[in-house]
């Protein structure tokens, strides 16, 4: 099984330039570009699988993979599937695509992961059947709820803190790792490493249309001193801060959209360029 095409949008910051774009819209941008880069005709795709965690981000998010398939030009007969493995949902979508191929159900699969935390709504539970007069309806943040495991009553960030305690990972260790990541992104960006994989997105900023083509969340000017000054967010004297947390752990950064074309066909027969296998 081979990956013959892969594209993504730029990473967007929480409340940033992509805040009003739905998971479906972003995945369509990446999906169309992946099809073009792979030289695959939409009608030749046999299955579409999308990884989405917060399926209340927009009205059509529960139908995300289906709508992505249709907007990308896939046949109405092409089956689609949403999967949720939390932060690994995009990877799981690719796994499902590979499984469909290995089972003989498909020869070409379009897979993607799409998320927009900025669109996570506040909700009121129980309002359908009325709220008693004089009682204040309780507002629930669907984003925080999504990032909390209600079985063990722990938010994801506390799991990170627990792991840091268990494996003796210090705040200094985490800050150093974060700084190295920032430096690597800066060097790669200056070298143009991301140009081939990123698909520019048209956005509206201050009443003007513009193309958004650069990751929004990195902080190239980060230093070990500035990182050390940031307070721990979830636990006193903890390790997780706004400067060293991963994209999937904090609510400050969002949107990883990646679309891949996976095929089980012989590349010499299809003449498709192989990206990965």
Q: Where are the domains of the chain?
A: 2-119+254-270
Q: Residue 243 and residue 229: Cα distance in Å, rounded?
A: 10
Residue 266: per-residue pLDDT = 53
Residue 34: per-residue pLDDT = 92
User: 262 to each of 8, 127, 158, 265, 267, how far by Cα in Å?
Assistant: 15, 44, 36, 9, 11
Identify which of 187, 200, 190, 186 has the alpha carbon closest to the alpha carbon of residue 257. 200
Low-confidence ranges of the chain (pLDDT < 50): 248-258, 267-268, 277
- Which alpha helices (DSSP H) does 153-215 contain, by range? 156-166, 171-190
- pLDDT digit string (tens) for 42-76? 999 999 999 999 999 999 999 999 999 999 999 99
Residue 267: per-residue pLDDT = 47
Class for the domain spanning 2-119+254-270: alpha beta
Residue 256: per-residue pLDDT = 31
Residue 14: per-residue pLDDT = 86
Identify which of 10, 1, 2 has the alpha carbon closest to the alpha carbon of residue 189. 10
Residue 135: per-residue pLDDT = 87
């Amino acid at each position: 099984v081979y990956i013959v095409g892969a594209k993504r949008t730029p990473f967007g910051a929480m409340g940033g330039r992509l805040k009003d774009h739905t998971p479906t819209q972003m995945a369509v941008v990446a999906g169309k570009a992946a099809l073009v880069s792979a030289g695959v005709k939409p009608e030749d795709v046999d299955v579409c699988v999308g990884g989405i965690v917060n399926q209340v981000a927009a009205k059509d998010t529960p139908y995300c993979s289906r709508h992505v398939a249709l907007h990308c030009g896939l046949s109405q007969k092409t089956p689609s599937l949403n999967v949720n493995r939390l932060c690994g949902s995009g990877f799981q979508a690719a796994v499902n695509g590979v499984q469909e191929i290995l089972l003989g159900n498909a020869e070409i699969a379009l897979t993607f992961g799409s998320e927009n935390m900025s669109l996570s709504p506040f909700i009121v539970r129980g309002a359908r059947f009325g709220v008693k007069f004089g009682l204040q309806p309780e507002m629930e943040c669907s984003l925080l709820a999504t990032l909390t495991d209600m079985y063990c009553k722990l938010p994801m960030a506390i799991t990170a803190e627990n792991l840091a305690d268990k494996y003796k990972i210090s705040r200094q260790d985490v800050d150093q790792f974060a700084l190295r990541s920032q430096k690597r992104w800066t060097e790669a960006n200056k070298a143009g490493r991301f140009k081939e994989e990123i698909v520019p997105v048209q956005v509206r900023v201050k009443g003007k249309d513009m193309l958004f083509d650069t990751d929004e969340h990195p902080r190239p000017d980060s230093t070990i001193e500035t990182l050390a000054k940031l307070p721990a967010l979830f636990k006193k004297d903890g390790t997780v801060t706004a400067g060293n947390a991963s994209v999937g752990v904090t609510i400050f950064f969002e949107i990883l959209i990646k679309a891949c074309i996976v095929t089980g066909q012989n590349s010499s027969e299809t003449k498709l360029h192989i990206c990965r296998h």
